[in-house]
Amino acid sequence: AQKITQTQPGMFVQEKEAVTLDCTYDTSDPSYGLFWYKQPSSGEMIFLIYQGSYDQQNATEGRYSLNFQKARKSANLVISASQLGDSAMYFCAMSELDRGSTLGRLYFGRGTQLTVWP
Amino acid sequence: GAGVSQSPRYKVAKRGQDVALRCDPISGHVSLFWYQQALGQGPEFLTYFQNEAQLDKSGLPSDRFFAERPEGSVSTLKIQRTQQEDSAVYLCASSSRLAGGRGTDTQYFGPGTRLTVL
């Protein structure tokens, strides 16, 4: 079973509008971390935001916020006031923290290609 | 350095050749990860080092893949007798904390090495 599911292959948003990128995850580990990364066409993977499974509040970093719904196992990324430079591939990832053999490794989804148009 | 660096950025190999990919993690980072990213996919875990110890190599796809980090800093991923299916971007990431410690830590990625096997 996929540990991270991103169901939107592509999303389009107009500049200055907000956009939500969906992510659902699957784990039986009570302790885990959720990440979003941005990958522009140049290829580097840029860290955006992190949410721990025990964090009470949703994470925010500037224009990025993570809508964490633990019961639904979803961790959607919200980008407010989109900019042309936000056009990139976005990956959701998870790290399980209690499983001895898989400690630390990130499980990635297939990504969502976001295009911001003027 | 300020970030994770990888070299070469691009590598073209003829089928059957051996290749070596280098990763320089962020100074002082104890954890180092290698991932493989096929075209249009999310990264897939290959192997994990804690200082010089390779604690998890379960993601290496075959015994043609070998990784080392002899002094706990620079790491090399070696692929012997390359095959066309090895064509991918190889990403290296480092983090400052031990995997599995209470609270996770962000993995910072290098720009990747794009390997093309002809």
Query: What would the mean pLDDT of B30-35 be, rounded to a whole number?
Result: 94
* Residue B89 at interface with chain A, using a CB cutoff of 8 Å: yes
Verify whether the Cβ–Cβ distance A95 to B104 is below 8 Å. yes
Query: What would the mean pLDDT of A98-108 be, rounded to a whole number?
Result: 72
Mean pLDDT (chain B) is: 92
Query: What would the mean pLDDT of A90-118 be, rounded to a whole number?
Result: 86
- DSSP tag of B70: T
pLDDT digits (tens, 9 = 90+) for A14-39: 999 999 999 999 998 888 899 999 99
Residues of B in contact with A110 (CB under 8 A): 40-42
Q: What element of type H or E holds B88?
A: strand B88-95
Higher per-residue confidence, A43 vs B102: A43
pLDDT at A101: 47
**pLDDT at residue B27 greater than cutoff 80:** yes
Mean pLDDT (chain A) is: 92
**pLDDT at residue A110 greater than cutoff 90:** yes
Strand partners, A35: A50, A93
Residues whose CB is less than 8 angstroms from the CB of residue A58 and which lie 6 or more positions away in sequence, other chains included: A51, A65, A66, A67, A68
Query: What would the mean pLDDT of B69-79 be, rounded to a whole number?
Result: 96
pLDDT at A67: 96
pLDDT at A104: 77
CA distance to partner chain B, nearest, from residue A54 (Å): 9
d(CA A88, CA A93): 16
Cβ(A93)–Cβ(A83) below 8 Å? no
pLDDT at B98: 61
Query: What would the mean pLDDT of A41-59 be, rounded to a whole number?
Result: 91
Verify whether the Cβ–Cβ distance A105 to B112 is below 8 Å. no
Strand partners, B16: none
Query: What would the mean pLDDT of A97-107 be, rounded to a whole number?
Result: 70
**pLDDT at residue B97 greater than cutoff 90:** no
pLDDT at A86: 98
pLDDT digits (tens, 9 = 90+) for B100-112: 555 557 899 999 9
Cβ(A92)–Cβ(A78) below 8 Å? no
CA distance to partner chain B, nearest, from residue A116 (Å): 20
* Residue A40 at interface with chain B, using a CB cutoff of 8 Å: no
Residues of B in contact with A4 (CB under 8 A): 42
* Residue A97 at interface with chain B, using a CB cutoff of 8 Å: yes
- Chain mean position to CA B30: 14
d(CA A40, CA A2): 24
Cβ(A101)–Cβ(A92) below 8 Å? no
pLDDT at A103: 62
Q: Report the share of chain A in percent with pLDDT over 70.
A: 95
Residues of A in contact with B59 (CB under 8 A): 105
Task: List Cβ<8 Å contacts ≥24 apart for B61-68.
Answer: B61/B36, B67/B34
* Residue A107 at interface with chain B, using a CB cutoff of 8 Å: yes
Verify whether the Cβ–Cβ distance A104 to B42 is below 8 Å. no
- Chain mean position to CA A3: 13
User: What count of other Cβ atoms lies within 10 Å of the Cβ of residue A85?
Assistant: 9
**pLDDT at residue A118 greater than cutoff 90:** yes
Query: What would the mean pLDDT of B77-81 be, rounded to a whole number?
Result: 98
